[in-house]
Structure 1
Amino acid sequence: MSDLASSSGSGLKAWLTSENPGSHLQASCSRAYYAWLDFAANRLALLGLIIVGLLVAVAAFAPFLATASPIAPDLTQRLLPPSAEYWFGTDELGRDIYSRIVYGTRLTLYVVVLVAVIAAPVGLLVGTSAGYFGGWVDKILMRITDIFLAFPRLILALAFVAALGPGIENAIFAIAITSWPPYARIARAETLTIRRADYIAAIRLQGASSWRVIWGHVVPLCTSSIIVRVTLDMAGIILTAAGLGFLGLGAQPPLPEWGAMISSGRKFLLDQWWLASIPGIAIFIVSLGFNLLGDGLRDVLDPKSGD
């Protein structure tokens, strides 16, 4: 059986590393395999992938990993230090901080995914449209982008949340509104280069409309750069969401949002350090994981980086 498995593995490797792929599927799998080898050679990128993978796993299995309710108070157990029963201690209402951290991964992932789903397509659409059409379209769209870029992200998000009202959904919408301009800049720069390519001219001569060229040929070529930028921006999104939660404008009590946990625990920081320190450590670790993963993806996906 071991010989059979070994020969099967060798055959698959030979198929993936063939210099003359026999089909489009084989060529795509070969490119993905070599990209994975480049990514796996970066130890820090692998560490980032592990951290992000653990975040997703903890969020998926939170009900099984948590040892208590993340929102139910128990005033008889308030402000207990870390112990065998309460691994990360308890907060001022007697809630288990470990369970709140575990369930907080769901809110963190919820914010990150929704902001990326909203902001990245908007930035991609604005950037590719501006770069492809040029002229007055480019000027109008880029001046709007410049207006958003003129304000610090957190300040602009605070303004939108203050107008919309506190809450996790409004915070996500506010962060998404302030996150799209960098993606638009990247997409525009990529499009300015792509639109002059010979194959784009050939597609136009075949009668393809401008929007068909943009969505069918320009957008796919800009996607890798956007993916890298989105991954690198995840840490900033998490910190902005935590900042809004800290100020009471993000997720509202009793939701176990890490920024709000730091806010409620800061008054006990000198004597009960675990209330604010442990959520802060969680934010740091997850932000570091996304940064390391983004650096690794940039080395693999960005053709203009690295050797």
Structure 2
Amino acid sequence: MSAGPRPAPRSGLRDWLLAEAPSSRRQAALGSAYRTWSQLLRNPLAVAGGLIVLGLVLVAAFAPWIAPDTPYGQSLSERLMPPSAEHWMGTDELGRDILSRVIWGARITLMIVVLVAVISAPLGLLVGAVAGYAGGWVDKVLMGITDIFLSMPKLILALAFVAALGPGIENAVIAIAITSWPAYARIARAETLTFAQAEFIQAVRLSGAGHMRIVTRHVIPLCLSSTIIRVTLDMAGIILTAAGLGFLGLGAQPPLPEWGAMISRGRTFILDQWWVATMPGFAIILVSLGFCLLGDGLRDALDPKGRT
């Protein structure tokens, strides 16, 4: 009996993605994404960081089903109970389950990180690209403003803005975003200066494209990879800054289960009931480590010199 037709080899798609001469922009974009993904998977630390970040997203998304209790339910008869089978992370001074509050706090942390990145990264990218492309007095003015923000510590500057705007999670997001964009502007400007006078930019200009079209369609896309890497690496700093504002009472306000605010309330019991402040502190350390590992992996994967 004949064995029948053999299935087509699965390497066909891989060969198409890794073609040295792509036949379309879509093939080139998919091939670049495949190379980046393959490089990322070969880095075990980056994979570990990605799993931590994925875990944060899943915990935040499914908090109502994962948390064993509500984050606001009080039971004074169970206050300051140590970790046990009933309360895996113990309870706080009001008898609230710390594990539930840490899980719900993941939502607040993820929201802060996403909002700050969405606000600050595009702003810094646009400022840096315009400054590097335009040059002259435009570059001097924009980079002068950028240097003013960079000359002050982030946390101190964020404290000043929150003090002016008032405490609250929304104002904390605005304050952190205002202090975060200059780093992206500097990176985008440095990237833009390397190819602002390149032949392909000159060709686009000679074809009749306006300056804004060149910046938005050609300059900014070339700066995206380095900006994405910096944003991922800065996630840990954003989390720590948000936790610092919450610790000082200027971020998320009670009874919201924000990790920094939980540490602030637990510092009173740190010597005897260590778990009240330690558990949210572990969450901050773990998530910050995950973003750092993922950012390092993306930096290696998106580096053209490291690709084979």
CA 1:144–1:305 in 2, change beyond 3 Å: closer, same or farther? farther
1:106-138 CA-partner distances (Å, limit 9, x unpaired): 000000000000000110111111111111111
* Counterpart mapping for 1:103-114 below 5 A: 103-114=104-115
Gaps spanning 5+ residues in structure 1: where? none
1:226-251 CA-partner distances (Å, limit 9, x unpaired): 00000000000000000000000000
Question: What does residue 62 of structure 2 align with?
Answer: 61
Within 1, Cα distance between the matches of 2:15 and 2:306? 28
Within 2, Cα distance between the matches of 1:228 and 1:242? 22
Question: Is 2:26 the counterpart of 1:25?
Answer: yes
Within 2, Cα distance between the matches of 1:4 and 1:191? 54
Within 2, Cα distance between the matches of 1:17 and 1:189? 30
Within 2, Cα distance between the matches of 1:201 and 1:139? 23
Alignment RMSD (CA, Å): 1.9
Within 2, Cα distance between the matches of 1:194 and 1:95? 56
CA 1:126–1:284 in 2, change beyond 3 Å: closer, same or farther? same
C-alpha deviation, 1:23, in angstroms:
3.5
Question: What does residue 249 of structure 1 align with?
Answer: 250
Within 2, Cα distance between the matches of 1:189 and 1:211? 18
Greater CA drift, 131-140 or 4-13: 4-13
Question: What does residue 214 of structure 2 align with?
Answer: 213
Question: What does residue 52 of structure 1 align with?
Answer: 53
* Counterpart mapping for 1:87-236 below 5 A: 87-236=88-237
SS in 1 for 2:277: helix
Within 1, Cα distance between the matches of 2:21 and 2:140? 46
Name the amino acid aligned to 1:248: G
1:66-89 CA-partner distances (Å, limit 9, x unpaired): 010101211111101111111100
Gaps spanning 5+ residues in structure 2: where? none
Q: Would you say the 8 A contact 2:45–2:293 is kept in 1?
A: yes
Question: What does residue 277 of structure 2 align with?
Answer: 276
Name the amino acid aligned to 1:270: L
| TM-score (structure 2 length as normaliser) | 0.95
Name the amino acid aligned to 1:211: M
Question: What does residue 16 of structure 2 align with?
Answer: 15
Question: What does residue 291 of structure 2 align with?
Answer: 290
Percent identity of paired positions between Structure 1 and Structure 2? 67
CA 1:165–1:134 in 2, change beyond 3 Å: closer, same or farther? same
C-alpha deviation, 1:4, in angstroms:
10
Q: Would you say the 8 A contact 2:39–2:307 is kept in 1?
A: no
Within 1, Cα distance between the matches of 2:115 and 2:168? 14
SS in 1 for 2:74: coil
Within 1, Cα distance between the matches of 2:20 and 2:67? 50
Question: What does residue 300 of structure 2 align with?
Answer: 299
Name the amino acid aligned to 1:222: C
Greater CA drift, 43-52 or 70-79: 70-79
CA 1:43–1:178 in 2, change beyond 3 Å: closer, same or farther? same
1:30-78 CA-partner distances (Å, limit 9, x unpaired): 2222211111111101000000000000000000000101012111111
Within 2, Cα distance between the matches of 1:4 and 1:107? 55
Within 2, Cα distance between the matches of 1:253 and 1:8? 59
Give the number of equivalent residue pairs. 305
C-alpha deviation, 1:7, in angstroms:
4.6
Within 2, Cα distance between the matches of 1:238 and 1:145? 22
| TM-score (structure 1 length as normaliser) | 0.95
Name the amino acid aligned to 2:95: G
Name the amino acid aligned to 1:130: A
Name the amino acid aligned to 2:158: A
Name the amino acid aligned to 2:256: L
* Counterpart mapping for 1:253-272 below 5 A: 253-272=254-273
Within 1, Cα distance between the matches of 2:268 and 2:208? 66
SS in 1 for 2:304: coil
Greater CA drift, 38-47 or 3-12: 3-12
Within 2, Cα distance between the matches of 1:11 and 1:102? 44
Within 1, Cα distance between the matches of 2:152 and 2:195? 30
SS in 2 for 1:276: helix
Within 1, Cα distance between the matches of 2:219 and 2:302? 16
* Counterpart mapping for 1:34-45 below 5 A: 34-45=35-46
Name the amino acid aligned to 1:60: A
Q: Would you say the 8 A contact 1:298–1:305 is kept in 2?
A: no
Within 1, Cα distance between the matches of 2:79 and 2:265? 13
C-alpha deviation, 1:305, in angstroms:
6.8
